[in-house]
Amino acid sequence: MRPAQAIMACSLMITELLVSELTVPYHREMPKPKQAAGRPRDGQIDHAIARATREVLAERGYAKLTVDAVAARAGVGKAAIYRRFATKQEMIFAATVHDMEEPPPPDSGSLRGDLAAVCATIADQLGTAAPDVLHGLLADLHGDSALGARFTGTFIERERFVIDTVLDRALARGDLARRPDTAEVHAQLIGPIFFWLMILGGDRDQVPAFSRTVADTVAASLAA
């Protein structure tokens, strides 16, 4: 096993670890693991809140979602929500983006193929999300640095890691002469899709084709 492969294998394991940890629902104040004094939080309620949040979001949109509405629909007191989340935004964040996971794609044998796979996966996620929710969340990140940090840690960092992995592979494979800046690749790869969907309001059906074009372009540019 060559060094690069070893590193990659290790990275994959870390990813698994991170992902599995993060699927445990986020709680405002995690009870200390040593022992659970008092009544433990009801897991049903976590799900009821998340589900209700998504439903209200779908029916009324981000701007018109109210905590009371979520509580009512979940059949839950408002206190149960605020015991879990410090703000409405945290709740929405947890309900919508928290458990997105993107394990790095299987090695397709070429940088171009790998990038296409990454791009397709993320494009799919972006295409699924409601644009108003994403924009609303993005807007609310500013001024709530805690949430901002978690957004970065969840979304951005994970995508970054995937891209890192793909670039490592290409380097190991010899597809790439030198390591490009990950953030630049990230922006060049995802930026166009994001812009197309979220700013231009482009057709979702054309995304797969467009995503392929973008991946090809980036691959070609990196190879040069």
Partner DNA sequence: CGGTAAGCGAGACGGTACGTCGAGTCTTATG
Partner DNA sequence: CATAAGACTCGACGTACCGTCTCGCTTACCG
Q: Catalog residues that contact its own copies under the rule CB under 8 A.
A: 61-64, 131-132, 135-136, 138-143, 152, 156, 183-184, 186-188, 190-196, 198-202, 210, 213-214, 216-218, 220-221, 224
Cα separation, 89 vs 147, in Å, equals 8
Cβ at position 179, least distance to its own copies in Å: 15
For the bound state, the minimum distance from the C-beta of residue 64 to DNA, rounded and expressed in Å, comes to 6
Residue 118 interface partner, choices DNA, its own copies, none, CB cut-off 5-8 Å depending on type: none
Rounded CA-CA distance 222/175 in Å is 9
Give the single-character DSSP code of 103. P
Beta carbon nearer to its own copies, 21 or 35 = 35
Q: For residue 149, what are the contacts with CB-CB under 8 A and spacing of at least 6?
A: none
Q: Which does 67 bind (CB under 5 to 8 A by kind): DNA, its own copies, none?
A: DNA
Closest separation in Å from C-beta 22 to its own copies: 20
Q: Which residues make up the interface to DNA (CB under 7 A)?
A: 31, 35-42, 45, 64-68, 72, 75-80, 82-84, 86-89
DSSP letters, 196-218, are IIIIS---STTHHHHHHHHHHHH
- Cβ contact 208:117 at 8 Å: no
Instruction: Measure the CA–CA gap between 82 and 103, rounded to whole angstroms.
Output: 32
Q: Are 111 and 163 in contact (CB under 8 A)?
A: no
List the single partner that 68 binds among its own copies, DNA, none, CB under 5 to 8 Å by kind. DNA
DSSP 8-state class, residue 32:
P
Closer to DNA by Cβ: residue 62 or 161: 62
Shortest spacing between CB 63 and DNA, in angstroms:
10
